[in-house]
């Protein structure tokens, strides 16, 4: 079609997500298989890459915007703009689970953090005693400086004894068959249960070189 040298693209094709280091396709396809097509970057400079009229330009491209252009009977046509986003994704899934403390009293707030390093394409799921009641609040922080890490924070407000158990996060790679599982055990007590009774005064005097014992009764 000389009036439509580029096959119209759908919006989903114009946003291209690529894992770091992987080749991709910029899908500006032509209705004329013999058309001469040039790939242009955001600086309006030509980018040299292999072209297949049925697929588009194939190669490893930096993040940014790209446009294809061709000339039909002396008239220049441009394709839609294609935006490439580079996602960091290692083949391994370094994951750590952290809890400020593992023993709580009723009414306190439980906080557990699961951190995924060097990866942006991850699906993460939590399993914990109150999951059925959707008791937990989940927050995600995507930190890129000084290094890439995804910080998932699970918060359980107003903890009860029923919140005692395993707190588990499972990270799955979005494009590879890789997963990593981490777990921490949290205990919630109905009330505090330690009583301290010192058998000495708030202020004690000791002579030089004297050995003196300080006794504490713990119940």
Residue 121: which CATH number? 2.60.40.10
C-beta of residue 126 within 8 angstroms of C-beta of residue 135: no
Specify the pLDDT at position 156. Answer: 95
Would 216 be classed as within a structural domain?
no
* One domain, residues 102 and 176: yes
Query: Is residue 126 domain-shared with residue 174, that is, in the same domain?
Result: yes
Going by pLDDT thresholds of 50, 70 and 90, the confidence category of residue 116 is very high
Give the residue among 196, 190, 166, 185 at the shortest CA–CA distance from 105.
190
Give a yes or no: residue 116 inside a domain: yes
For tokens 């000084």, the residue is 146
Tens digits of residue pLDDT in 25-47 = 999 999 888 889 999 999 989 99
> Does 78 share its domain with 115?
no
Do 115 and 61 reside in the same domain of the chain? no
Q: According to the 3-state scheme, what is the secondary structure of 20-66?
A: CCCCEEECCCECCCCCCEEEEECCCCEECCEEECCCEEEECCCCEEE
- Tell which of 87, 116, 138 closes a domain: 87
Both 133 and 54 in one domain: the answer is no
Q: In this structure, are 111 and 182 located in the same domain?
A: yes
Most confident of 4-18, 44-58, 74-88: 44-58
| C-beta of residue 143 within 8 angstroms of C-beta of residue 117 | no
Identify whether 99 is part of a domain: yes
Beta strands in 81-130 (DSSP E): 82-87, 95-99, 103-105, 110-117, 122-127
User: Average pLDDT of 111-137?
Assistant: 91
> Whole domain around residue 111: which residue ranges?
95-189
Average pLDDT, the chain: 90
Tens digit of each residue's pLDDT (9 = 90 or more) over 40-72? 999 989 999 999 989 999 999 998 999 999 998
pLDDT interval class at 133 (50, 70, 90): confident
- pLDDT-derived band at 95 (thresholds 50, 70, 90) equals very high
Q: How many domains does the chain have?
A: 2
- Judge contact between 138 and 131, C-beta under 8 A: no
Residues 82 and 121 in one domain: no
Cα 29 to Cα 141: distance, rounded to the nearest angstrom? 38
State how far the Cα of 206 lies from the Cα of 210, in Å rounded to an integer. 6
Cα distances from 186 to residues 4, 51, 58, 163, in angstroms, run: 63, 57, 51, 8
| Region 169-189 average pLDDT | 89
Residue 83 included in any domain: yes
- Do 73 and 142 sit in the same domain of this protein? no
Tell whether the model's pLDDT for residue 140 goes beyond 80: yes
Using CA atoms, how far residue 15 sits from 26, 56, 84, in Å, is 10, 14, 6
Q: Would residue 207 count as lying in a domain?
A: no
Tell me, yes or no, whether 118 and 55 share the same domain: no
């Amino acid at each position: 079609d000389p009036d439509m040298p580029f096959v119209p693209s759908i919006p989903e094709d114009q946003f291209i997500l690529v894992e770091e280091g992987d080749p991709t396709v910029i899908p500006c396809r032509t209705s004329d298989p013999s058309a001469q097509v040039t790939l242009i970057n955001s600086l309006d400079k030509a980018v040299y890459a292999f072209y297949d009229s049925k697929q588009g330009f194939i190669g490893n491209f930096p993040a940014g915007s790209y446009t294809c252009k061709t000339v039909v009977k002396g008239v220049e046509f441009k394709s839609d703009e294609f935006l490439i986003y580079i996602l960091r994704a290692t083949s391994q899934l370094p994951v750590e689970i952290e809890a400020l403390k593992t023993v709580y009293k009723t009414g306190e707030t439980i906080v557990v953090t699961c951190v995924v390093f060097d990866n942006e394409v991850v699906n993460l799921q939590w399993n914990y005693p109150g999951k059925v009641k959707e008791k937990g609040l989940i927050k995600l922080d995507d930190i890129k400086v000084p290094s890439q890490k995804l910080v998932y924070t699970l918060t359980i407000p107003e903890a009860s004894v029923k919140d005692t158990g395993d707190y588990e996060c499972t990270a799955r790679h979005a494009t590879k068959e890789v997963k990593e599982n981490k777990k921490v055990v949290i205990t919630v007590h109905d009330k505090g249960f330690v009583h301290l009774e010192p058998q000495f005064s708030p202020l004690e005097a000791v002579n030089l070189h004297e050995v003196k014992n300080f006794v504490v009764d713990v119940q």
